[in-house]
Amino acid sequence: MTGRVVEISETGKHLSISRGFLVVTVKKQELGRVPLADILVLIISGMGNSLSTNVINALLEKDVSIIFCGPNYHPLGLVWPLGSHHLPVQRLKLQIAASRPLKKRLWQRLVQAKILNQSAVLNYFGAPDPALAGLAKRVGSGDPENCEAQAARRYWSPLMGSEFRRNTDGGGINSLLNYGYAVLRAATARAVAVSGLYPALGVHHHSQANAFCLVDDLIEPFRPLVDLTVKKLYRDGVVEIEPDSKRRLAGILNLDLTSHLGVSPLSQCLLRLAQSLVRSFETGKAELVLPLSPLPIEIEAEN
């Protein structure tokens, strides 16, 4: 399930399909083409671009997620494929029938993994906080103590500085985080769709205004990978969205992660996580396939 993240970031581009390729033109002059089979996510962040329903349909038939971004790369809309699985009704019934205790245990596993990965990121940057490992152990079923929020309060200042505040409408570091999370969210939505799951039925998130509650549940353990990449960009003097920072943030989907099933790219790990969620619904046991800490083997190779 590896693939490319394609972004249309400038204005006045036209997208079309020709012989299995996504073709980008401006004033009828071709700028480039990408095989549809190679695309994992399409991001449209530039204004005044055009594409037809035929293009959208062709992308969805290849299980490509499409993100439309607003200011500061905050995603305004996500189009995802509905026909990727042959048993969508059966999977929907499984989600509806899942017991509250099971969903609370699933959320416990996701929060524990997120906090451990946050701890691994701080360790990488030489700012270890042993309390995070303790918080991960304290996470109960459904996280009744809200250890996730407690960990966040201990995490962001050592990582990004005491003045940093997470703001989806902010620029600088916040815009970099927005972009990375948007890429991750789209890839997770694709994994959810391919697994036949219904994205609005989360195990923890339940906002009536959010059509992707389940997606936002499953991305939690992987968010620290975006944070790590943004911190490395900031350390290199990059504080705004630019072509190289986009490339590096999109590259997180190809990072190799280790689980008890072996080493796989993050995009494949997302699919395995979604499929393990289906098995958890079937068996009534919270047995999620999650990456092991420390995170990407590339991190270890750098040290």
Mean pLDDT (10-residue bins), the chain, 303 residues: 77 93 94 92 87 93 86 75 66 93 98 95 93 95 97 96 88 92 90 87 88 93 95 91 89 87 88 95 95 64 46
The pLDDT score that the predictor gives to residue 153 is 94
Spell out the domain ranges in the chain. 4-79, 88-302
What would the DSSP string read from start to end of 149-205? HHHHHHHHHHHH-TT----TT--THHHHHHHHHHHHHHHHHHHHHHTT--TT--SS-
Phi, psi of 263 (to 5 degrees): -100, 130
The pLDDT score that the predictor gives to residue 43 is 87
In whole angstroms, what is the distance from residue 275 CA to residue 191 CA? Answer: 8
User: Residue 225 contacts by C-beta under 8 Å, 6 or more apart in sequence?
Assistant: 117, 184, 252, 255, 266, 295, 296
Structure tokens at 249: 């943030």
What would the DSSP string read from start to end of 42-81? EEE-SSS-EE-HHHHHHHHHTT-EEEEE-GGG-EEEEE--
In whole angstroms, what is the distance from residue 266 CA to residue 297 CA? Answer: 11
In whole angstroms, what is the distance from residue 46 CA to residue 103 CA? Answer: 39
The pLDDT score that the predictor gives to residue 193 is 84
The pLDDT score that the predictor gives to residue 301 is 45
The pLDDT score that the predictor gives to residue 159 is 96
Q: 102: closest CA among 244, 248, 303, 278? A: 278
Whether the CB-CB separation of 22 and 61 falls below 8 Å is answered with no
The pLDDT score that the predictor gives to residue 220 is 97
The pLDDT score that the predictor gives to residue 1 is 45
* Domain 88-302, CATH among 1.20.120.920, 3.90.1200.10, 1.10.3720.10, 2.40.50.700: 1.20.120.920
Superfamily of domain covering 4-79: CRISPR-associated endonuclease Cas1, N-terminal domain (3.100.10.20)
